[in-house]
Structure 1
Amino acid sequence: MGFWDKFFKKKSEEIEKIDIPESWDFYICSIEDRPASYYLNLALRQVAPIADKNKILWIEVKLNQPTEDGMSSPEEYDGLIELEDRLIPQVEQALHAIYVGRLTHNGLREFYFYVNENQYSESNIQKIIQQEENYQINFGAKVDPEWSIYCDSIYPNAFAMQSIANIHILESLEQYGDVLTVKRPVEHWCYFKTSEDRDHFLQKIQERGFEIVEQSKNDENENPYSIQIGRIDSVDLPSINQVTWELLELCIENNGEYDGWETPVIRN
């Protein structure tokens, strides 16, 4: 191996040693009026786009036993997990790919990867998917140097991110034996740029039965005008999603920020 071969090999190895952050989570949404579920590495948003991975690859698996609404069924769970455990490592290794997540929707499960355009090989993908005789599998790819598909299409919007946060709180409550459907005091925090924005928000939420717990101002914050509000509500996922999405939307309409909620544990 000559000097220049050693040099370029070293550069290639440095590119492959990109430190990929990981924070995997589920979120539910609707696509074309049908339910959909994403399982996504949210932490990649911190480093996207990765210049060396400028092409997105999607591998589309047709579900064998989808539910009536097009989602995966319990009967097919084990088979899909086994497929995933085989498929993802092979694609990552063959194409030096970064796996970013998957979508389940309309009778399909799609796996998303980012690859270097120069390392993309249809023949390598064909070899991998041809091994899966129990599933009908297609694939496609598109140059996406800005990672716009990840950032703008499959990454959760503010409402989906709030749902993810809600799920984490509910999981914590359930660990303490909380009965989520029991109504109880729920308090929320919101922040605004101006007192006028906060006052307009207050008018809207008081019409919805919320009470003011506390108001304050901190000039060191980007949104200095804060308010803590409360109402009696259930906190099962459909209920708390509805409440927090409404508050989030009102905050956005009034140049504000919704900063979450808390509630006491109710065991009976």
Structure 2
Amino acid sequence: MSIKIIVKKEKNLSLFDKFLKKKSEDKEQEIQIPDDWDFYLCDIDGKTGSYFLNLALINIIPIVEKNAFLWIELTLNQPTEDGMSSQQEYDTLISLEDQLIPQITELFNAIYVGRLTHSGTRDFYFYLNENIYDAKLVEKTIHKFSDYQIKFGLKNDPLWDIYRETIYPNIYAMQSLTNDRVIRNLENHGDTLVAERPVEHWCYFETSEGRDKFIKTIQTEGFEINSQSYHEENKKPYCVQLVRTDSVELDNINGVTWALLELCIENGGEYDGWETLVILN
């Protein structure tokens, strides 16, 4: 049984996803917003941060009608030692989100893009039309959550640069996120991830010379070549499929795929993903 790189979209546990789904299905809604929500970890000034983000927006931005970026930051009351949210505060935060996000979205016909938790704070991010923004309405909304210290601000961002360059994961974070999705799929099929197993990878290159250089290097790292092919319809038509026995635990597979990703780029190519078998103990 093989697990491919494409997996089902992640569902959010909070209620606001139901609200967003309802909005997207509204016949009067001008902009159809795709959903692909997931978590990823990042480093911010040497401290761990956790994004929960609608990744699908990268395919439709910039949205001309939403030219301003609204951030709302609350200070956590019971953060963990590393500045993340704690289990003790979980229910309170979920309740707050289930109220705050729909209210801001409704007030300004805004698009909620995600949140960031780090350094004892949780930030909520929205895009909206600057012409209909009213700071007093935001103040009135956050005043309802008097148990928290909250601040907010607005930045003009017509090209969605903040989302694209700051919030959206870089190529390494995105690869790690994709790896984690495959691993979750393996675990959902009963795989404990303990056993090493053959892992197949796909890479594509602009030129045959670039592919040949890549192959020469990775063969010294214990990879075997399964096949080479040419796909005329692709911008990078020269494909190579390779395999090596590896652990698929996240830290290890991240190291493997990041190394392949870098080597592909060095040779004018791109790393396209991996596939393996479910192993049941």
Q: Could you report, residue by residue, the CA deviation over 1:135-187 in whole angstroms, capped at 9, with x for unpaired residues?
A: 11111110111111011111122222222221221122112211213211111
Query: Which residue matches 2:187?
Result: 174
Q: Deviations over 1:21-57 (max 9, x none)?
A: 2221211121222111111111222221111111100
Instruction: Between 136-145 and 28-37, report the one with greater CA deviation.
Output: 28-37
In structure 1, distance between residues paired with 2:202 and 2:70:
40
User: Where in structure 2 are the equivalents of 1:118-129 lying within 5 Å?
Assistant: 118-129=131-142
* 8 Å Cα contact 1:180-1:235 kept in structure 2: yes
State the AA in 2 paired with 1:127: K
- Give identity over the alignment, percent: 59
Question: With structure 2 as the length reference, what TM-score do the two structures score?
Answer: 0.86
User: What residue number does 1:44 align with?
Assistant: 57
Which one of the candidate residues 226, 233, 247 is aligned to 2:260? 247
Q: 2:243 aligns with which of 230, 237, 252?
A: 230
Paired with 1:136 and 1:167, the residues of 2 have a C-alpha distance of 34
Contact 1:96 1:119 in 2 (8 A): no
Distance 2:119 2:241 in 1: 41
Q: CA deviation at 1:130?
A: 0.9
State the 1:16 CA deviation: 5.4
The answer on 1:59 being equivalent to 2:72 is yes
C-alpha distance in 2 between matches for 1:259 and 1:21: 23
Return the offset for 1:188.
0.5
Q: Which residue of 1 aligns with 2:171?
A: 158
- Aligned position for 2:152: 139
* 1:193–1:223 CA contact under 8 A, matched in 2: yes
The aligned length equals 256
2:224 matched residue in structure 1? 211
Instruction: Identify the residue that residue 69 of structure 1 maps to in structure 2.
Output: 82
1: CA distance between counterparts of 2:270 and 2:200? 15
**Which runs of no fewer than 5 residues in structure 2 stay unpaired?**
1-26
Indicate the larger mover: 42-51 or 117-126. Answer: 42-51
Letter in 1 for 2:92: G
SS, match of residue 114 in structure 1: strand
Which stretch of the first structure deviates more once superposed, 54-63 or 70-79?
Answer: 70-79
Cα distance in 1 for residues equivalent to 2:154 and 2:68 = 7
2:180 alignment partner AA: I
> Taking CA–CA contacts closer than 8 Å with sequence separation of 6 or more, which of the two structures ends up with the larger relative contact order?
2
Query: One-letter code of the match for 2:41?
Result: I
Name the structure 2 match of 1:258.
271
Counterpart mapping for 1:81-160 below 5 A: 81-160=94-173
Contact 1:24 1:39 in 2 (8 A): yes
Provide the alpha-carbon RMSD of the alignment.
1.8
Residues of 2 paired with 1:32 and 1:96: CA distance? 33
Moved over 6 A (4+): none
The secondary structure found in structure 2 opposite 1:263 is strand
How far apart, in 2, do the equivalents of 1:26 and 1:110 lie? 14
Q: Report the 3-state secondary structure (helix = DSSP H, G, I; strand = E; otherwise coil) of the residue aligned with 2:145.
A: coil
Work out which of the two has the higher radius of gyration on C-alpha atoms and give 1 or 2: 1
- 2:38 maps to 25
Between the aligned partners of 1:223 and 1:122, the Cα distance in structure 2 is 48
**Which whole-Å CA distance do the structure 2 matches of 1:32 and 1:254 have between them?**
32
Say whether the 8 Å CA contact 1:189–1:227 is kept in structure 2.
yes
**CA offset digits 1:183-210 (Å, max 9, x no partner):** 1111111111112111221222223222
Q: Relative to structure 2, which stretch is displaced further, 217-226 or 177-186?
A: 217-226
Contact 1:29 1:36 in 2 (8 A): yes
Cα deviation, 1:218-246, whole Å, max 9, x if unaligned, reads 33332121111111111111221111111
Q: The residue matched to 1:38 in structure 2 has which SS?
A: strand
Q: TM-score, normalised by structure 1?
A: 0.90
Q: Distance in 2 between matches of 1:126 and 1:16?
A: 26
Distance 1:96 1:179 in 2: 44
